[in-house]
A = this chain, B = another copy of it.
Amino acid sequence: MSNSVGIAQINSTAGNLSENTKKIAKYIKLAEKKGLDLVIFPNNSLIGYSLENTLERFPFLHKENLKWLNGLAKLTSKTTVIIGEIDNTGQNSIAILKDGKIDKFIKNNEIYSLNGIKYAISVFNPLENDFINNFKNKVADVIIICHSTASKAGKEEKLQNAIASIAKTVKLPIIYVNSAGATDNLSFDGASRSVGADGKVFARAKSFEEDFIILNPLTNEGQIASLPKGSDNVLRDSFSLDYENDLERTYKTIIQGIKDYFKKCGLKRAVLGLSGGLDSTVCAVLLTDALGKENVYGISMPSKLTSSESKSDAKELADNLGINFEEIPIKTVFETTTDCLNPLFERIETNWNDRYKKSFTPDNIQARARATYLWCISNEFPSCIPISTSDKSEAYMGYATINGDMSGGFAPIADVTKTKLFALARWLNKNRTEKNAIPESVILKKPGAELAIDPRTLKTLNAEDALMPYEFLDEIIWRIENKNEEYNDLIQAEFIYEKEHKISKEQKIEWIEKFFSRMSKAHYKWSILPPSVIVDSHSINSAVYKQPVTSGKINYKGSSEKEIAIALNEV
């Protein structure tokens, strides 16, 4: 009883039927040539995962998909193809292509017999608690799961635990097939695998790239590609600044995210502002690795607040990376804009007489002038987009300028917190072919946008003074996202920062209140964040998290019975 199975872990493009077909055809032909019994493709391999609402609006794509699928079916002879695909009703299902035809669509769970072997085939999510119920009372030899899942922190461990546990419970081998490639915000990590009835992996495809592997689920034959370092063991029960175990996965998730966004949008070039700060520096390195140095343009756009160190750090980084580089001051545009606006503000003030004594207008003019430069470069040169260098810590705090540093065609690090970015910068300096591309001074300096002067120090305002220590901020974010902690939990919690720095209870309360207050005003900014790559287990990326802009009045501190009683009597 032979049972040679191929897994074709492909990277499809959402909606691009002809390109996806060519890819699938290539692997069907390969499987036929190798005489395999079976070749399995990921979820929505042909139509691309995921088109979201597109199919409801353009139902003719169902028919198109079927036409192409029929074409692919004609390629089958000895090898049977199992391919995650929508059926003619638009439902997620799995198509079986056999003997030159579409044999059937499997919509839920079903036993499919081939060469005397019973395959239990499922489109369901193995991470859902009741998955196992799908296989109760079914007699099968092998389970096949086509359910694509994107990379995020801790997913690998959860997924592998779930698959191993199912295998051991039902005492059957499992073949799990995932996609490679990215669709907008989702970066699929591949690593399709097969486990034996003992729950142990005996075959695994590469991570974050297309791969074709051959295995035998009845004899446990196969080869195991390694996972990105630490990705099988990254779930933590408490916050830690030791990100080491998650950095290779983070890097690969983002690199694939950038590569595929550009390729699938028909883009090739990125232009970004190089401030000499951590965010733009890390973005420049990632873009260089994803797109090639010739396709990256770093623009240093100093203002009078930009230190000479920032300027030289930007230049040094560009030299180290070998990317294109220009410096262009924003002084004249800044001054002209300010000169035009000041008299206007004075005239408006005659009608709206509560003008702010101290505004962020000059800070924002600088950020917006820079964004205008970058967008105009992208208007002037083909296949080029500007990059938003916003990071996750700042996105939570709304600490980025609309139409300024927030804006861009893509945001590579919008789901990476600041403390993790420091760790990623060090990791990049150690693990890239060209060592230490990032100047040490970039990693050592205190983050700050160099947009304003701090009246207390008369130096440029430091982001941590405006917000709070990033260590503290990032721990709040981690606790909220991973532990669902509320205001009172945070007040009670012992933060890592507190172990190393003596802070008063008042200081802690002030920071936590500042967090909720700033976050409550940041929802609008979240709603217009450019497409980015989801990296963490939870995120504010709109593909996975939505909160109304008008929900800014939530009382995160909770209410006492007395407050409630007062509110009820107040009426």
Collect the chain B residues with CB atoms within 8 Å of residue A556's CB: 58
Collect the chain B residues with CB atoms within 8 Å of residue A551's CB: 13-16, 48, 51, 54
A389 at interface (Cβ–Cβ under 8 A)?
no
A104 at interface (Cβ–Cβ under 8 A)?
no
Complex: A52 Cα to B549 Cα, angstroms: 11
Question: How far does the Cβ of A16 sit from chain B's closest Cβ, in whole Å?
Answer: 4
Whether the Cβ atoms of B550 and A183 lie closer than 8 Å is yes
Collect the chain B residues with CB atoms within 8 Å of residue A348's CB: 297, 324, 326, 377, 380-381
Which one of A409, A531, A570 has the highest number of Cβ atoms from chain B below 10 Å of its Cβ?
A531
Whether the Cβ atoms of B14 and A568 lie closer than 8 Å is no
Q: Given A554-B16, A567-B21, verify A372-B531 contact (CB < 8 Å).
A: no
A138 at interface (Cβ–Cβ under 8 A)?
no
Mask: chain A, 18-29; 1 = CB below 8 Å from B; 0 = not: 110110011001
A375 at interface (Cβ–Cβ under 8 A)?
yes
Specify which of B22, B54, B531, B548 is in contact with A527 (CB 8 Å cutoff): B531
A558 at interface (Cβ–Cβ under 8 A)?
yes
Collect the chain B residues with CB atoms within 8 Å of residue A529's CB: 528
A332 at interface (Cβ–Cβ under 8 A)?
yes
Whether the Cβ atoms of B50 and A548 lie closer than 8 Å is yes
Whether the Cβ atoms of A13 and B553 lie closer than 8 Å is yes
A53 at interface (Cβ–Cβ under 8 A)?
yes
Whether the Cβ atoms of B379 and A15 lie closer than 8 Å is no
Whether the Cβ atoms of B379 and A52 lie closer than 8 Å is no
A10 at interface (Cβ–Cβ under 8 A)?
no
Collect the chain B residues with CB atoms within 8 Å of residue A365's CB: 372, 376
Q: Which residue of B lies closest to A262 (CB)?
A: B550
Collect the chain B residues with CB atoms within 8 Å of residue A29's CB: 571
Q: Given A328-B344, A380-B359, A547-B51, verify A72-B568 contact (CB < 8 Å).
A: yes
A486 at interface (Cβ–Cβ under 8 A)?
yes
Mask: chain A, 56-90; 1 = CB below 8 Å from B; 0 = not: 11111101100110011011000000000000000
Complex: A480 Cα to B56 Cα, angstroms: 11
Whether the Cβ atoms of B57 and A545 lie closer than 8 Å is yes
Collect the chain B residues with CB atoms within 8 Å of residue A116's CB: none
Complex: A185 Cα to B145 Cα, angstroms: 38
Chain A contacts with B in 171-217, Cβ cutoff 8 A: 182-184
Oligomeric state, in copies:
2
Q: Given A332-B340, A348-B377, verify A67-B561 contact (CB < 8 Å).
A: yes
Mask: chain A, 324-362; 1 = CB below 8 Å from B; 0 = not: 101010101100110111001101100110111001110
A interface, how many residues as a size bin? Answer: 35 or more
Whether the Cβ atoms of A372 and B553 lie closer than 8 Å is no
A555 at interface (Cβ–Cβ under 8 A)?
yes
Would you list 29 pairs from A and B whose C-beta atoms are within 8 A, ordered by A residue?
Answer: A14-B551, A16-B555, A17-B559, A18-B567, A21-B567, A21-B568, A50-B548, A52-B546, A52-B548, A53-B547, A54-B548, A57-B538, A57-B547, A58-B480, A67-B561, A67-B564, A68-B564, A71-B561, A265-B524, A265-B549, A266-B553, A269-B352, A326-B348, A332-B339, A348-B380, A354-B381, A359-B380, A371-B403, A527-B530
Collect the chain B residues with CB atoms within 8 Å of residue A480's CB: 57-58
A132 at interface (Cβ–Cβ under 8 A)?
no
Complex: A355 Cα to B384 Cα, angstroms: 11
Which one of A53, A488, A553 has the highest number of Cβ atoms from chain B below 10 Å of its Cβ?
A553
Q: Which residue of B lies closest to A52 (CB)?
A: B546
Collect the chain B residues with CB atoms within 8 Å of residue A261's CB: 549-550
Collect the chain B residues with CB atoms within 8 Å of residue A328's CB: 340, 344
Whether the Cβ atoms of B375 and A564 lie closer than 8 Å is no
Since A16-B555, A52-B548, A57-B545 are in contact, a sample of 14 more A-B pairs with Cβ atoms closer than 8 Å, ordered by chain A residue number, is: A21-B567, A53-B545, A60-B558, A71-B568, A184-B548, A265-B524, A266-B552, A266-B553, A333-B340, A337-B372, A348-B377, A352-B381, A368-B376, A524-B530
Question: How far does the Cβ of A383 sit from chain B's closest Cβ, in whole Å?
Answer: 9
A426 at interface (Cβ–Cβ under 8 A)?
no
